[in-house]
Structure 1
Amino acid sequence: MRSAKGWLLAVALLAGTAQADERDLWMFAQWAGDHQTRPFREMLVNARLYGVVPIHQLLRSASDWKLCSASPFAVPPAANWPAVRSTLALLKTLDTQGILREFEVVSAYREPNLNRCAGGAVGSAHTRAFAVDILLPGWADPNPLCRFWQQYGQAWNMGLGRYPTGRIHIDTAGYRTWGGDGSAGSSFCVKPK
């Protein structure tokens, strides 16, 4: 039985953060049994990027998959794999530099119809390139991520956004930033002058 102090700590850690995604490893294993993921996995292994993000998170589609009667997971088309490698290389660098150690990917590649149903932007990097929406633990400070974007974002062609839900969007499809209202002016980061 958990003590009252333990419950208070758990509540404090979750306060102000979005809940973890229900699409866990078990659900992924059931889905993967009926879907071809081997070529995608081999590409990740060959690029030395397998495991940067757990595969069950890396293949999560939009969080609104149920509402949109879509698949909970999706393998990006092979034509998108260079963008997958680019974004994963960025995430690996962020981890290596200690900027982004703990996170959960809640949305990655989205088929265009699912993106539209889920309210994604027209031409979203989730559909045309490769993007991840992540959740940080409640104690994580997003400012080091912002500083990295300010210093190295242009070289990485890095998109960095933050939504009102607390989710953070990362891609390598264009140097830009935005905040809760979708504009650069509401971003938690500002472009260096």
Structure 2
Amino acid sequence: MAGPHRATVEGGGSRRLACLATLLLACGCSAAAVPDDNRTEAMFLQWLPMQRAEVAAFEAYLAQQQVLDVSPTWQLLRTASMWKECQAAPFQVPPRAEWPEAARVLALLQELRRTKVLGPFSVVSAYRDPALNRCAGGARHSSHMQFAVDLVLLAPGDDQKLCDFFRQSGQGWNMGLSRYPSGRIHVDRTGFRTWGADYTSRTSFCRQLAQKRP
């Protein structure tokens, strides 16, 4: 799913971004916006001028790794949903040391899409710095401080497909998988594990699905 910000890599981006920003701000809309999430594409375009060079470098790195089109850049740079309460930025480019991890996570999402395990989705949270992670109530060693994604599925998902992929292929991908009570799906590559509301495998949605099988 390619976003409009690929122009920062391909050249001629300033004019196109300026035009897009004007249109979005005029109509108050954004592509693939998640309900109740005000970190929209229009907000990203307001934030972008302060970080344009670093965003372009991040996109260039992802393009080199062939994962640039997995998700729009403005979604990949979303921080935590509690950014406002924590007086943090709504978007953040991960430190360059974490870019390889970002590419690894995106490669996994690419595979989940290729195999039709995942349909359309929106990334609602990705990298968080330690201070924001702590304020937002993240786990002490949260993988978001390296790079992880929380997804909202934009169409009815097949939990069984996702759990089957985790069981059959997750170890090879070093995949971490969870579904929060809100319905968000967490994916990382910092360890083969699954967990639920109490952060243990006992409450994993995959385990609960397995127990329901005849």
For the aligned pair, the TM-score class normalised by the smaller chain equals 0.7 to 0.9
Q: Retained in 2: the 8 A contact 1:132–1:170?
A: yes
| Structure 1 gaps, min length 5 | 1-17
Q: Report the CA distance between 1:144 and its aligned residue.
A: 0.8
Q: Report the CA distance between 1:38 and its aligned residue.
A: 1.3
Moved more, 94-103 or 151-160: 94-103
Three-state SS of the structure 2 residue aligned to 1:88 is helix
Measure the CA separation in 1 of the matches of 2:162 and 2:35.
Answer: 21
Aligned-partner residue type, residue 69 of structure 1? Q
- Structure 2 residue 82 is matched with structure 1 residue 82: no
Q: Retained in 2: the 8 A contact 1:150–1:189?
A: no
* Residue number among 144, 147, 151 corresponding to 1:134 in the alignment: 151
Q: Report the CA distance between 1:162 and its aligned residue.
A: 1.2
Q: Over residues 77-98 of structure 1, what are the superposed CA-to-partner deviations in whole Å (9 max), with x where a residue is unaligned?
A: 1111111111000000001111
The equivalent of 1:104 in structure 2 is 122
| Structure 2 gaps, min length 5 | 1-33
The equivalent of 2:59 in structure 1 is 41
Three-state SS of the structure 2 residue aligned to 1:74 is coil
Aligned-partner residue type, residue 97 of structure 1? T
Question: How many residues of Structure 1 are paired with residues of Structure 2 in the alignment?
Answer: 174
Measure the CA separation in 1 of the matches of 2:125 and 2:55.
Answer: 17
* Residue number among 119, 132, 142 corresponding to 1:114 in the alignment: 132
Measure the CA separation in 1 of the matches of 2:162 and 2:112.
Answer: 8
The equivalent of 2:6 in structure 1 is none
CA shift in 2, pair 1:137/1:56, >3 Å: same
Measure the CA separation in 1 of the matches of 2:170 and 2:37.
Answer: 28
Measure the CA separation in 2 of the matches of 1:21 and 1:54.
Answer: 16
Indicate the structure with greater helix content: 2
CA shift in 2, pair 1:183/1:64, >3 Å: same
- Structure 2 residue 179 is matched with structure 1 residue 148: no
Aligned-partner residue type, residue 130 of structure 2? P
| Structure with higher RCO (Cα < 8 A, 6+ apart) | 1
Aligned-partner residue type, residue 44 of structure 2? F
Measure the CA separation in 1 of the matches of 2:204 and 2:198.
Answer: 9
Give the alignment of 1:47-66 within 5 angstroms.
Answer: 47-66=65-84
Measure the CA separation in 1 of the matches of 2:117 and 2:153.
Answer: 11
Three-state SS of the structure 1 residue aligned to 2:67 is coil
Write out the 4+ residue segments of structure 1 that deviate beyond 3 Å after TM superposition: none
Measure the CA separation in 1 of the matches of 2:70 and 2:174.
Answer: 19
Measure the CA separation in 2 of the matches of 1:138 and 1:41.
Answer: 27
The equivalent of 2:44 in structure 1 is 28
Q: Report the CA distance between 1:181 and its aligned residue.
A: 2.1
Q: Report the CA distance between 1:25 and its aligned residue.
A: 1.1
Q: Retained in 2: the 8 A contact 1:49–1:85?
A: yes
Aligned-partner residue type, residue 140 of structure 1? G
CA shift in 2, pair 1:20/1:135, >3 Å: farther
Measure the CA separation in 1 of the matches of 2:42 and 2:191.
Answer: 34
Measure the CA separation in 2 of the matches of 1:143 and 1:100.
Answer: 11
Q: Retained in 1: the 8 A contact 2:119–2:153?
A: no
- Structure 2 residue 189 is matched with structure 1 residue 172: yes
Identity of aligned residues (%): 50
